[in-house]
Structure 1
């Protein structure tokens, strides 16, 4: 069974653009990316679109469909109303390169700012041992396909350009949370890097007001807010304001100073 569907696709580049209307054939079982490919083959061969796997695993085909950030390859046409025009626009948060393709380099810059896992000095890679509960706790975060839909929909960066320097966004705060939860990460012992303090001071955790919009658009159904950001905020509060934590931190600092002086 096939039918004709009206589409309104944003066409343009960094200098500006506008919506162009198309009437495209849709077949049973197709997704939005199928229709975009048909559109390229029949009416708009110069339409720019980024895609790769068409299986919801590469995160390349992120766009906004009827105003909602989604993967085009995972949005079935059967879920969209046939009697209205379907709009397809590039992700709003990032600069447009051309048509549906945006410049997502902001995310790679933020990724480089998250300091990597620091292995324990006394263990070789094959000697790492973790409790299964710790493995399962962070495994959810490793499902991320870096589609950057969470980054796109986060209003802290979406609506406030001035925040982009100070705020890493949910995807990379989730990475910081994962490293902070990792029982073998020795960043603090070996490099003096406190992941919780870094989340607040370097990655802008305080800007996040846990609206859960990032969780709502995640195609991998990662509970970014509940399982990463809120627990990280709770640990930061302990670090910054709990008197017992503050006293313990001061005591450790004095002990390190004494060891240094004796050495």
Structure 2
């Protein structure tokens, strides 16, 4: 089945832009990225879009479709009707470079700020030992493809650009939580999560979980448990006393 679909695509750069309407052929089985490629080939050869694998595993083609953060290569045209007007816009939380391409360097800056895995000083390579349950606990978080949809939809970043210096966003708070769960990691993740990476800014609306293409339960399995561990460290009187007595 083939039909002429109605699309509204944002065109512009750092200096501004606007939504432009296009009529593009749609074929059975296609995804939004197919339509963007056809639009490039037939009507707008200068349209900029970032993509790579077209298999939902590289995270490159992140954009917003009808206002919802999505991977263009995983958004099937069959989810829309032939009469729908489909709007494709760049990620709103990050500066536009050109058309659908945004500058996501904020995320790489935050990634470099997170201290790497820190084993005990007296533990040599080859001596690492972990229980299978410890491996499984954090395995979910390693499915992240760094599409940054969670970063984009988090209203702490999306609606308040001034929060970016103090807030790492759900993707990197999840990374901190993963390392904190590691039985061989000795870095102080909990105080850093709160004081340096803005864990307290998160009010667990679960919007990050809702847009994750890998279906990682970011809020329930990473952010909420991390908040609980931070609260125990700071406010539980018995934990506070134990920290004073044993200098943990």
- Return the TM-score normalized by structure 2: 0.98
Q: Which residue of 2 aligns with 1:261?
A: none
Cα distance between partner residues in 2 of 1:119 and 1:43 = 55
Match of 2:205 in 1: 211
The residue aligned with 1:191 is none
Secondary structure of the corresponding residue to residue 244 of structure 1: helix
Tell me the distance in 2 between the aligned counterparts of 1:73 and 1:33.
Answer: 5
Spell out the pairing of 1:54-73 with structure 2 (5 A cutoff).
Answer: 54-73=54-73
Counterpart for residue 108 of structure 1: 108
- State the distance in 1 between where 2:85 and 2:103 align: 27
Q: Structure 1 length normalisation: TM-score?
A: 0.92
Match of 1:86 in 2: 86
Aligned partner of 1:224 in structure 2 is: 218
Structure 1 alignment gaps of length 5 or more: 188-193, 257-263
Within a 5 Å distance, the mapping from 1:4-23 to structure 2 comes to: 4-23=4-23
Write the distance in 1 (CA, Å) between the matches of 2:74 and 2:136. 26
Q: Looking at secondary structure, tell me which structure has more helix per residue.
A: 1
User: Across the two proteins, how many residue pairs are aligned to each other?
Assistant: 248
CA distance, structure 2, for counterparts of residue 30 and residue 125 of structure 1:
48
Cα distance in 2 for residues equivalent to 1:29 and 1:250? 62
Listed as ranges, the matches of 1:27-66 within 5 Å are 27-66=27-66
Q: 2:153 and 2:80 mapped to 1: Cα distance?
A: 20
SS of 1:232's partner is helix
Distance 1:186 1:217 in 2: 32
Deviation per CA, 1:101-160: give whole Å up to 9, x if none: 000001011111111101222333322111111101100000000000000000001001
Larger Rg: 1
Q: What is the root-mean-square deviation in Å for CA atoms of aligned residues?
A: 1.0
